[in-house]
Amino acid sequence: MVTKMLLAGCTALSALAFSAGIANAVELRFQCYQDGNECQAWSEEIKKFEAKNPDIKVAVDEVPYKAILESLPVQLASGSGPDLARVSDLGGLAKYMLDLRPHLKDADYWEKNYGDELKWTRVNGPNDNGIYNLPDQLTITGPFVNKTLFDQAGVAMPGDKATWDDWAKAAVEVAKKTKTPYPMAMDRSGHRFAGPAISYGAKYFDGKGNPITVDDGFKAFAEKFVKWNKDGTMAKDVWAGSGGATYQDASQEFINATLVFYLSGSWQVARFGREIGDAFDWEVVNSPCGPAACTGIPGGASVVGFKHTKHPEAVAKLLDFMAQEDVYADFIGQTKAIPANKSLQEKRVDYPDADSHVKKALAAFTIAAKSLSPRAFEFQGYKNNRAIMNATAARITQAIVGESTLDQALDRINADIAEAVKASGGAK
C-alpha cells in the first residue's frame, strides 16, 4: 500500500517536473561536423551543461562537412539555420555571427585566452571588438618525418633551422637509399601551400587589405614546387590527381612508410598514432625555412552562435561554458587537438591514452603554435583567404600537369582573386 502511494506520488512528481521542463525549456540546435570525434566529445560536455542548466536543451545535429560548407551559408542568408554551428570558414560567415560580448560575465577571460583567434571573425571594421567565435580546435601545419627511414639510410636529419632545399636534398637521398617511392609530399590545399610561400617571403595582402597574391616570394616557392613535382621530389599524385580546389592528402602514403617527408598538419596526429602504431618512428619537425621565415600556418574550426537565434542568452551561456578551462581541456584531451586557449598552451594539456609518438608530436605543434610568423596568423583571418587558397590549388595544378605554363597559371591566380574580391565587395 505504502509502496503504491509512493509510486503514485513519484509518478505525479516526475510528471510535474517533466511538464515544467517542457514549458520553460529552451531548445538550441547545434550543427556540428567532425574530422575525428569532435561532435561526440562536445556532446559529452554538453550533457554536463544540460545537467547544470535544466531549462536549456541542446540538440547536436551531426552533419557532413559539405553541409557546413555549402548549405549553411544558404540557410543563413535566408534567415533560417541552427542556433550554433561548428564552422571553419570564419571570415565568410562572420556577418551572421552573434556577438557574445554583451552576454558574457567575463569577457576578459575570452580576450586573454582566445584573443588571437577572436580577431579572425572581426570583419566589421577596425573598431569591432565583438566576441563571435570559440576556437575549439587550433590546427598548425607542419612536416611529419619518417625517422626510421632516415636511420635506415644513415642520413642525418636536417636541424631546426634547415631550409626547404636542405630537406628536399636529404629526403631525396633517403628515398634513394631505402628505395622509398616518394621523398616529399604536401596536401593538395592552398592553405598548406601558404606556409612555405610565406617562408619564401610571400605577403599575400598589403596594409590596406588588398590582395597581392603573386609576388616574388610566392613565385619563388611556386617555381620550386612545380619543379619538384615534375622531377619526382614531390609525390605528383597528390596535386596532379585532382582538379579544381578538391582537397587531397597523402596520409595513406605516410602511414605505409612510402613517404619520407610529409607537410600536413596537427589534425593528422591522432590518426597517425592510431594507424602507424609501432610500425616505425615518426616525428614532427620544425617547418623548413625559406629566406623570409620558417613558418607553418594556423587554421582550425570554431563553434559560433548566429544572430538570428531566438535565445542569444542561452547560446552565450553554452559557449561560455564550453570555453571554460576545465571543459575545454577535457575536450582537447579527448580529441587530441592543439588548444587555442593560451593558459592551456602554457600548462600543456594532458592527453589521456595517447602513445609517446602522439604526445611528442602534439607538444611539438603546441610549441610551433607560439612561434608562427605574424603574417601567417593574419592570413588566416584575411577576408579573401579562401579565394586565394582555392585559386592556388586549382591553378598550380594546371601548371604541374602541363595544361598551362607556370606564368599563365600565376596570371590566372591574380585574375581569379581580383574577380573574387570584386564579387564580395559588390555585395555591400
Partner 1 sequence: MLWSFISRTRGRNRFDLTDWLTWGYLIFGMLLMFGPVLWVAMSSFKTDAALSEYPPSFLPLATQTAMVKGYDKPLPLYEITAGEHKGSVLAQIRRIGLNAQMVDPAHPDEKINVKIGDRQPKRELTFAWDNYSKLFKRFNFMRYFWNSVFITVVATVITVLFNSMAAFALAKYKFRGRMVVFLLIIATLMIPPTINLVPIYLVVNELGLVNTPWAVIWPAVATPTGVFLLRQYMLTIPDDLLDAARMDHASEWRVYWRIVLPLAAPAIAVLVIFSVMWRWNEFLWPLIVLNRSEQFTLQLALNAFQGDLQTSWSGLLAMTILTLLPITIVFAILQKNITAGIAQSGVK
Partner 2 sequence: MLKPLNTAAQLGYRTAFGLFELPMATAQKLIGIKRIAWMFLLPNLLIFGLFTFLPIILNFFYATSGGDAILLAHRPYVGTENFASLLSCTDYLDPNTCRRDVFWRAVYNTGWFVVLQVGFMVAFSLLTALILNRDIPWRGFFRSVFFYPVLLSPVVVALIWKWILQRYGLFNAGLEDVGLSSVDWLTDANWAFFWIIFVSIWAHMGFYTLILLAGLQAIPADVYEAAEMDGASRWRVFSKITMPLLMPTMIVVLVLSLIRAVQAFDEIFVLTGGGPGSATTLILQYIYETGFASRPQLFGLAAAASILMAVVLLVLTLLQLRVTRGQAEN
Footprint of partner 2 on this chain (CB under 8 A)? Answer: 69-70, 73-74, 77-78, 89, 92, 236-237, 240-246, 248, 252-253, 256, 258, 386-387, 390, 394, 397-398, 400-404, 408, 412, 419-420, 422-424, 426-427
Between 87 and 293, name the residue whose CB sits nearer to partner 1. Answer: 87
Using the rule CB under 8 A, is 34 a contact of partner 1?
yes
Q: Report the DSSP pairing between strands 259-265 and 182-186.
A: parallel
Between 7 and 415, name the residue whose CB sits nearer to partner 2. Answer: 415
Using the rule CB under 8 A, is 24 a contact of partner 1?
no
Rule CB under 8 A: choose which of 40, 242, 398, 404 binds partner 1: 40
DSSP string, 312-328: HHHHHHHHHHHHSHHHH
Rule CB under 8 A: choose which of 265, 290, 298, 339 binds partner 1: 265
372's torsion region: left (phi>0), alpha (psi -120 to 50) or beta?
beta
The answer to whether the beta carbons of residues 85 and 68 sit under 8 Å apart is yes
Q: Which does 249 bind (CB under 5 to 8 A by kind): partner 2, partner 1, none?
A: partner 1
Nearest partner of 259 among 163, 145, 353, 154, judged by Cα = 145
Q: How far apart are CA 73 and CA 81, in angstroms?
A: 9
Between 101 and 412, name the residue whose CB sits nearer to partner 2. Answer: 412
Options 16-24, 208-216, 268-276, 310-318: segment touching partner 1 (CB under 8 A): 268-276
For residue 261, the surrounding DSSP H or E stretch is strand 259-265
Q: Which does 274 bind (CB under 5 to 8 A by kind): partner 2, partner 1, none?
A: partner 1
Residue 189 phi/psi, 5-degree rounding, is: -165, 135
Using the rule CB under 8 A, is 247 a contact of partner 1?
yes
Options 15-23, 35-43, 112-120, 228-236: segment touching partner 1 (CB under 8 A): 35-43
Between 65 and 109, name the residue whose CB sits nearer to partner 1. Answer: 65
The answer to whether the beta carbons of residues 417 and 388 sit under 8 Å apart is yes
Q: Which does 246 bind (CB under 5 to 8 A by kind): partner 2, partner 1, none?
A: partner 2
The answer to whether the beta carbons of residues 255 and 121 sit under 8 Å apart is no
Q: How far apart are CA 336 and CA 350, in angstroms?
A: 9
DSSP string, 153-185: HT-PPP-TT-BHHHHHHHHHHHHHHHT-SEEEE
Amino acid in the structure at residue 38: E
Q: Distance of alpha carbon 4 from its chain centroid, rounded?
A: 57
Rule CB under 8 A: choose which of 119, 177, 274, 360 binds partner 1: 274
* Binding track, positions 63-92, relative to partner 1; x by CB under 8 A: xxxxx-xxxx-xx--x-xxx-----x----
Q: How far apart are CA 76 and CA 95, in angstroms?
A: 10
CB of 89 to partner 1, least distance (A): 10
* Binding track, positions 146-175, relative to partner 1; x by CB under 8 A: --x--xx-----------------------
CB of 252 to partner 2, least distance (A): 6
First vs last C-alpha separation in the chain: 73
Q: How far apart are CA 87 and CA 137, in angstroms?
A: 11
The answer to whether the beta carbons of residues 197 and 289 sit under 8 Å apart is no
CB of 347 to partner 1, least distance (A): 26
Options 16-24, 56-64, 100-108, 334-342: segment touching partner 1 (CB under 8 A): 56-64
Q: How far apart are CA 241 and CA 396, in angstroms?
A: 12
**Interaction site with partner 1 (CB under 8 A):** 29, 31, 33-36, 40, 59-67, 69-72, 74-75, 78, 80-82, 88, 139, 148, 151-152, 247, 249, 251-252, 255-256, 258, 265, 267-268, 271, 274-278, 281, 301
